[in-house]
Amino acid sequence: MNKEKLGLRILLLVLGIFIVAHGVALSIRSDLGTSPISSMPYVLNLIIPNITVGTFAIIVNSLLVLIQILILRSKTGFDQIIQLPLTFLFGFFIDVNLWLTSSLVPDNYMWQLVAVVVSCFVMAFGIFLELKADVGLLPGEGLTLVISRAYNKNFGKTKVAIDTTFVIMAISLAFIFHDRLEGVREGTVMAALFVGTIASFYQKRVLFIDKYLKPSMVRDFVSLPYMTTDNYVITISRQYGSGGHAVGEAIAKKLGIAFYDSQLIDLTAIASGFTPEYVEKYEQKIPNGLLDKLYNNNYAYVNEVIPPNDKLFIAQTGVIRNIAAHESCVIVGRAANFILKGHKNCFNVFVHANNEFRKKRVVLNYRVDADDAERVMAVKDKERDNYSKHYTGKHWNDLNEYDMTVETSKFGIEGTADMIIEASKALIS
């Protein structure tokens, strides 16, 4: 809980909860299903219409708070207690917004879809405001956080499991009491897939709120150790199969300095707490599978947990900067050219080659089938570009980010290494 400008933060939290409740009401009016966490209260209301959706939301969310207390026992704190009044507020706001939207009855499927899409954007904005307030969580996210911490589970996967449980229970109740599917439809799936992503978009784009929540202070610039060292570093970014590793290794050998490529996997594993196998699988790429996206989207619901990929990048950033501060070296990949910005003796190189040269190396060195080589090359380069765009905001092959580019298919591995050494002599001397 952030106590700075607490009054404004509480106001922002209440507004955020109201907006989330409005999004839930819109999704209910669409008649295409609501968010996973709200599906149970909605279906229970269909079964017992005399009790409002908001009242059922209060009951269900209060049970989630109780589960947290049972898990934490003596460790139960303010974070759990604050959820109770927020739960009553959320339930009340759902009923208010259902009354406000009572005249909204989409008369065809297209308008129903529009209502669902709008509800996703509205719910996401409410969640964004809750996160900016940084005062308390609603019980769904609170329970996810408690379980993931108490049992050392991945937050994103835990939230998917909890959401899935709610959806299964809602579907079961609908079939038991109505003998047909109600309350859980495509709108439920859309909310699960897109609300977190949209909330992340708001986090990146809607920045003016920070001006009112955080005091504007002029801070003295503090140089980090990697910025003040007399060591020099040559970073090599490369197209897959262009020979960047071999070029970097040749440079390090000729200059008698350290070389880092796969060695960074073990060092990052130590720094991050992940296994070397995990680091090797996920470094330099953004998980792109549907489940991976779903897991990562769930981190947009809380401030307290860092997504695994971000944790990996932060750990690797620390490792690379620590290396640069203590010795001269060559570093291959890992967005080192971006991570070492501010290093006064850093020379950044992009190595590329024509497709024929790359294909031969990929087949020979990585045992890739010749018929599949071009596809693999394209996939690997795309992964590197996505990684760069995500963490640096720049395309990986943006030549403005480098001091030099060299085509290995023209000059060979040794020739390229010699050219880079010659060009970087101003740093080395």
The Cα 75–Cα 83 span in angstroms is 15
- Give a yes or no: residue 220 inside a domain: no
Last residue within a domain, chosen from 155, 189, 213: 213
Last residue within a domain, chosen from 162, 179, 213: 213
Of residues 50, 2, 202, the one with CA closest to residue 121: 202
Looking at the fold, whether 206 and 232 belong to one and the same domain comes out as: no
pLDDT in the model for residue 285: 84
Of residues 187, 199, 85, 83, the one with CA closest to residue 143: 83
Kindly report, residue by residue over 140-182, the tens digit of the pLDDT.
999 999 999 899 888 888 888 999 999 999 999 999 998 888 8
Rounded (to 5) percent helix, strand, coil in the chain: 70, 5, 25
Average pLDDT of 89-100?
A: 98
Looking at the fold, whether 199 and 273 belong to one and the same domain comes out as: no
Six-digit token string for 156: 């994103």
Looking at the fold, whether 286 and 396 belong to one and the same domain comes out as: yes
Looking at the fold, whether 107 and 241 belong to one and the same domain comes out as: no
Q: Which domain holds residue 395?
A: 225-428
Nearby residues of 139 by Cβ (< 8 Å), 6 or more positions away: 61, 62, 64, 65, 68, 83, 86, 87
Looking at the fold, whether 39 and 142 belong to one and the same domain comes out as: yes
Long-range contacts of the stretch 110-118 (C-beta < 8 A, 24+): 112/30, 112/31, 112/32, 113/30, 113/32, 115/26, 115/27, 115/29, 115/30, 115/32, 116/26, 116/27, 116/30, 116/32, 116/33, 116/186, 116/187, 116/190, 116/191, 117/190, 118/26
Average pLDDT of 16-22?
A: 97
- Give a yes or no: residue 350 inside a domain: yes
The angle subtended at Cα 242 by Cα 238 and Cα 244, nearest 5°, is 50
Looking at the fold, whether 68 and 173 belong to one and the same domain comes out as: yes
Say what the pTM is.
Answer: 0.78
Kindly report, residue by residue over 214-233, the tens digit of the pLDDT.
765 545 545 678 888 889 99
pLDDT in the model for residue 215: 62
Per mean pLDDT, which range of 65-69, 220-224, 403-407 is the poorest? 220-224
- Give a yes or no: residue 174 inside a domain: yes
pLDDT in the model for residue 418: 97
pLDDT in the model for residue 291: 61
* Helical residues (DSSP H) of 327-404, grouped into ranges: 336-339, 355-366, 373-392
Last residue within a domain, chosen from 213, 233, 262: 213
Kindly report, residue by residue over 225-257, the tens digit of the pLDDT.
888 888 999 999 999 999 999 999 999 999 999
Average pLDDT of 58-68?
A: 97
Looking at the fold, whether 235 and 98 belong to one and the same domain comes out as: no
The Cα 49–Cα 207 span in angstroms is 42
- Give a yes or no: residue 218 inside a domain: no
Looking at the fold, whether 151 and 283 belong to one and the same domain comes out as: no
CA dihedral 154, 155, 161, 163 (to 10 degrees): -170
With 90 as the cut, is the pLDDT of residue 68 above it? yes
Of residues 388, 385, 386, 422, the one with CA closest to residue 403: 422
- Give a yes or no: residue 219 inside a domain: no
Per mean pLDDT, which range of 93-97, 109-113, 291-295, 411-415 is the poorest? 291-295
* Helical residues (DSSP H) of 179-243, grouped into ranges: 186-205, 208-213, 225-228
Looking at the fold, whether 145 and 42 belong to one and the same domain comes out as: yes
- Give a yes or no: residue 390 inside a domain: yes
In the chain, how many domains are there?
2
Looking at the fold, whether 324 and 349 belong to one and the same domain comes out as: yes
Looking at the fold, whether 250 and 177 belong to one and the same domain comes out as: no
pLDDT in the model for residue 179: 84
Provide the CATH number for the domain around residue 304.
3.40.50.300
Average pLDDT of 332-354?
A: 95
With 90 as the cut, is the pLDDT of residue 308 above it? no
C-alpha distances out from residue 66 to 42, 142, 148, Å: 21, 11, 16
Looking at the fold, whether 263 and 340 belong to one and the same domain comes out as: yes
The answer to whether 351 touches 239, Cβ cutoff 8 Å, is: yes
Instruction: Let me know if 123 is exposed, middle or buried by CB neighbors in 10 A (0-12, 13-18, 19+).
Output: buried
Q: Within its chain, how far is the Cα of 260 from the centroid?
A: 27
Please give the helix or strand (H or E) that residue 329 lies within, else none. strand 329-332
**Residue 404 C-beta-side C-alpha neighbours within 13 Å:** 20
The Cα 417–Cα 259 span in angstroms is 13
- Give a yes or no: residue 203 inside a domain: yes
- Give a yes or no: residue 248 inside a domain: yes
pLDDT in the model for residue 256: 96
pLDDT in the model for residue 216: 56
